[in-house]
Amino acid sequence: MNFSWQTRKESLRQMKTETFDVLIIGGGITGAGLALDAVTRGLKTALIEKRDFAAGTSSRSTKLIHGGLRYLEHYDFALVREGLRERAELLKIAPHLVEPFPFVIPIYQDSRRNYDHPLLVRAGLFLYDLLAGKYNIQRHRRVSREEALELAPQLDPRGLKGALVYYDGRTNDSRLVIEVLKSANAHGAAIANYVCLSGFRKDAQGQIAGAHLHDELTDEAFDVTAHSVINATGVWMNEVRSLSTSLSDDDKQLRPSKGIHLIVSAERLQVTTAWLIPAIGEKRFYFVVPWEGYVNIGTTDTDYQGSKDTPGAFESEAKQILQAINAYFPTAQLELSDVISAWAGLRPLISSGNTNQSTTAVSRKEEIFADEDGLISLAGGKLTTYRLMAERGVDLAVEQLRQRFGKTANPSRTTELVVGGGLIKPREIEDIAQQIAQSEHLPLATALHLLHSYGTDYERLLDLMREDESLREPLLPSSPNVAAEVVYAVRYELAMTIADVLTRRTRIAMLGSAMDCVHNVAALMARELGWDAQQRSQQLANFSAEYQHEYKLS
Ligand SMILES: Cc1cc2nc3c(=O)[nH]c(=O)nc-3n(C[C@H](O)[C@H](O)[C@H](O)COP(=O)(O)OP(=O)(O)OC[C@H]3O[C@@H](n4cnc5c(N)ncnc54)[C@H](O)[C@@H]3O)c2cc1C
C-alpha cells in the first residue's frame, strides 16, 4: 500500500469534501495512536500534522519502552505497572521496532558513587519485576565486578563491587510513529503532514464542528468538517486549546520540560548494554544506550520557556552530562568534540500547579481534558503508553459521538493489531537477514538494519533494489543505510522534504553524517518528487539550516 504524496493529495481531497467522525490534530506518537485506534473501531478518521510526523517530541526521546524504574521513587506504582504492560503489548505488536534490552546499574563501595543505597535499588528492581508480573521480560540479577567490567571495559574499576542488571525495551521512536500512521492509513484514515490547524469551526450550539486548516506546502487554506476533534499536539496543547476556548490560569497546566541527548561513537564509549549513570549533584541518572551502532546518552530535565518549534541543545548542558559520564568511564574522557550530534526534546508534562517541585518529580501520567465546546485534548504520558492513551482518548470521543449523533463504534482492538511491518518473529530476524544478505549480495549489517527498521516491508525495499541496481548503494560508507530507503520513504512513507528522510524515516541526521549524503538524497528525492533545480537547492538550504540548529550543539 502506497503512503506517498499522492496519498496526501487524496487525503486532502477527502478533508475538503467529506465529513469525518474524528479529526486528530498532531502527528506525534499520541496522534498516530489515536488515528489507528479510531479508524479500526469503524470511525471515519482524519489526522493532520503541521510539520512532519514525529517532528515534535516523538523523534527526540531516549527511545526506551519502559515502565520507568525511576517513577517507583514517587510511589507511582500504577503508572509503572501500566508502562510495563504496554511494554509487553509493544513487544508483541511491533516486534521489529521494539526489542528487549539489558540495563545495568553499577554498585560502588563508596556510597556517594551509587544512585541510592544498593539495597534500596535492589528492592526497587524486585518491585519492578513484581509489577511486571507475567509480562516481565526477565528477572533482574546481580553480576560480579568482573562481569560488569566485561560489559563496559571503560567503567571505573576503583571500588566497583558489581552491578545490577534488569531488562526493558529499546526502540526507534520516529519509525514507530510512521509505522503506526502507515497502519492507520492502510485501514482508511486520511492523513497529511505539513497541514496546520489555524482555528476551529463551531455549530449553532457552539460545539466544535471542524477546523480551519492551512496546507504549509501550497499555502492553501481550507476547512474540514468533523463531529469530534482530538488535540494531540503535545507541548502545543494549550496554543491549540486557546483557539477554541479562553483558558484560565488554572487550565494552563502544561509544563514543558527540556531534555537533551548526545550521540558519541561506539569506539569512544564501549558499552554492550545500556547503563544508568548517576548525575552529579542531582538525584537522577543518565541513560547510556547503544543505539543504531552509536551510543545515545541522555537526558537532562529542566523547565523550558523558549520556542517550542526549535529547541536546541547547548554546550553547557552537554558538559554537565559528559562530566557525569567521565566520572564513571574515566578512560573514555569524552570531550565536546566527541559529540557527533545533539538534540533537544520537550516533555509535555502536566503540572500539579506546584512550581517548587522539580520537573523530574512531575508525574508522567497522561491527562485528558474535555472542554465545554467538545474539544478533547490529550497530553502527558510517554511514548511507551501511547496505545493505551489513544484507547482512552477515543473512548471519550466515542461517548461524545454517541451522545450528540447517536453514533456507535466498536471497542478498541489495537492490542491485536500488528503495527506496520511487524508480522515478523524476532527470533527469525537473524536467519532471514543471513538469507537476504546471501541471496541479495548485501552486507549482513544492511540486511539486519532493513529488517529492524521496516519489518516485513523489507520486501518492498528489495523490490526497489531489484528494479534499479543503483539503489543498493550505501548512502554512507560506514552505515547500513542504502539508497533504496530514500525512494521507499517517498513512495511508501510520505516523506516530502530532505529532513523527513534523513531525520525521521532514517535516523542518519541524528547519527551525525547527514551532510555527507545530503546531495545524493536530494538527487534521489528530486527524481521521485519532480523537483526542479531551484526547488532542490531550496530543499538543501532548508535542511542545512535545520540540521545545524537542531542536531548540533550551540
Ligand atoms: C528528552 C525526552 C526523553 C523521553 N524519553 C522517553 C522514553 O525513553 N520513553 C518514553 O516512553 N517516553 C519518553 N519521552 C516522552 C515521549 O517522548 C513523549 O511523551 C511523546 O513523544 C509525546 O508525543 P506527542 O505525540 O504527545 O507529542 P509530539 O510528538 O510533540 O507531537 C505533537 C505534534 O503536534 C504537532 N502540532 C502542534 N501544533 C499543531 C497545529 N496547530 N496543527 C497541526 N499539528 C500541530 C507538532 O508539530 C507535533 O508533531 C521522552 C520525552 C523527552 C522530551
Q: Which of 62, 244, 504 to mutate to test the pocket of ligand 1 (most atoms within 8 A of CB)?
A: 62
Give Cβ neighbours of residue 551 (< 8 Å, ≥ 6 apart): 341, 342, 343, 503, 509, 510, 512, 514
64 CB within 6 A, ligand 1: yes
Rounded distance between C-alpha atoms, residue 273 and residue 45, angstroms = 41
CATH class of 426-551: mainly alpha
Closest residue to atom 26 of ligand 1, CA basis: 234
Rounded distance between C-alpha atoms, residue 11 and residue 188, angstroms = 10
- CA 32 to ligand 1: nearest atom: 25
Q: Give distance in angstroms: CA of 407 to centre of ligand 1.
A: 30
Strand-pair partners of 228: 22
* Per-residue pLDDT at 354: 64
Q: Give distance in angstroms: CA of 285 to centre of ligand 1.
A: 21
Poorest-confidence range of 216-220, 285-289, 314-318, 360-364?
A: 360-364
Q: Give distance in angstroms: CA of 211 to centre of ligand 1.
A: 22
51 CB within 6 A, ligand 1: yes
505 CB within 6 A, ligand 1: no
What is the average pLDDT across 507-520? 95
Q: Which of 140, 157, 153 is nearest to 84 (CA)?
A: 140
pTM given for the model: 0.98
Strand-pair partners of 169: 65, 100
pLDDT reading at 359 higher than 80: no
Q: In terms of C-beta density within 10 A (0-12 exposed, 13-18 middle, 19 or more buried), how is residue 169 classed?
A: buried
Q: Which of 105, 144, 154, 87 is nearest to 285 (CA)?
A: 105
pLDDT reading at 356 higher than 70: no
- 357 vs 147 pLDDT, higher one: 147
- 443-460 pLDDT, tens digit per residue, is 999 999 999 999 999 999
Q: Give distance in angstroms: CA of 388 to centre of ligand 1.
A: 15
Rounded distance between C-alpha atoms, residue 367 and residue 278, angstroms = 30
Q: Give distance in angstroms: CA of 177 to centre of ligand 1.
A: 10
Specify the domain boundaries for CATH 3.50.50.60 within the chain: 5-58+174-253+362-405
299 CB within 6 A, ligand 1: yes
pLDDT reading at 422 higher than 80: yes
Helix (H, G, I), strand (E, B) or coil at 206: coil
* Per-residue pLDDT at 380: 87
* Per-residue pLDDT at 423: 96
Q: Give distance in angstroms: CA of 435 to centre of ligand 1.
A: 37
169 CB within 6 A, ligand 1: no
Q: Which of 97, 171, 224, 233 to mutate to test the pocket of ligand 1 (most atoms within 8 A of CB)?
A: 233
CA atoms within 13 A on the CB side of 360: 13
Q: Give distance in angstroms: CA of 363 to centre of ligand 1.
A: 16
* Per-residue pLDDT at 355: 65
- 464-499 pLDDT, tens digit per residue, is 999 999 999 999 998 999 999 999 999 999 999 999
Specify the domain boundaries for CATH 1.10.8.870 within the chain: 426-551
Q: Encode burial over 437-471: b for 16+ CB neighbours within 10 A, e otherwise.
A: beebebeeebbbbbbbbbbebbebbbebbeeeeeb
Q: Please, which pLDDT band fits residue 327 given cuts at 50, 70 and 90?
A: very high
Asked whether the beta carbons of 169 and 19 are under 8 A apart, the reply is no
High-pLDDT (> 90) share of the chain, %: 91
pLDDT reading at 376 higher than 80: yes
Rounded distance between C-alpha atoms, residue 112 and residue 339, angstroms = 27
Q: Please, which pLDDT band fits residue 397 given cuts at 50, 70 and 90?
A: very high
Asked whether the beta carbons of 294 and 266 are under 8 A apart, the reply is yes
* Per-residue pLDDT at 247: 84
191 CB within 6 A, ligand 1: no
pLDDT reading at 375 higher than 80: yes
- 110-130 pLDDT, tens digit per residue, is 999 999 999 999 999 999 999
Q: What Å distances lie between residue 69 and 4, 113, 433, CA to CA?
A: 39, 19, 33
Where does 365-425 have alpha helices with state H?
386-405
- 401-413 pLDDT, tens digit per residue, is 999 999 999 999 9
pLDDT reading at 288 higher than 90: yes
C-alpha cell, 224: 474540514
Closest residue to atom 37 of ligand 1, CA basis: 233
79 CB within 6 A, ligand 1: no
pLDDT reading at 221 higher than 70: yes
Q: Calculate the average pLDDT of the chain.
A: 95
The DSSP bridge pattern shows strands 208-215 and 195-202 to be antiparallel
Stretch (H or E) spanning 344:
strand 341-350
Specify the domain boundaries for CATH 3.30.9.10 within the chain: 94-170+256-353
- 322 vs 356 pLDDT, higher one: 322
30 CB within 6 A, ligand 1: yes
- 8-31 pLDDT, tens digit per residue, is 999 999 999 999 999 999 999 999
CATH number of 94-170+256-353: 3.30.9.10
348 CB within 6 A, ligand 1: yes
Provide long-range contacts, Cβ within 8 A and 24+ apart, for 357-364. Answer: 358/301, 359/255, 359/257, 359/301, 359/302, 359/303, 360/282, 360/283, 360/284, 360/301, 361/74, 362/255, 362/257, 363/71, 363/74, 363/76, 363/79, 364/68, 364/71, 364/76, 364/79
Closest residue to atom 35 of ligand 1, CA basis: 26
* Per-residue pLDDT at 415: 98
Q: Give distance in angstroms: CA of 231 to centre of ligand 1.
A: 12
High-pLDDT (> 70) share of the chain, %: 98
CATH number of 5-58+174-253+362-405: 3.50.50.60
Where in 54-176 does DSSP place strands (E)? 64-65, 99-108, 141-144, 160-170
Q: Which of 11, 24, 61, 241 to mutate to test the pocket of ligand 1 (most atoms within 8 A of CB)?
A: 61
* Per-residue pLDDT at 433: 98
- CA 381 to ligand 1: nearest atom: 19
- 39-82 pLDDT, tens digit per residue, is 999 999 999 999 999 999 999 999 999 999 989 988 899 999 99
Q: Give distance in angstroms: CA of 178 to centre of ligand 1.
A: 13
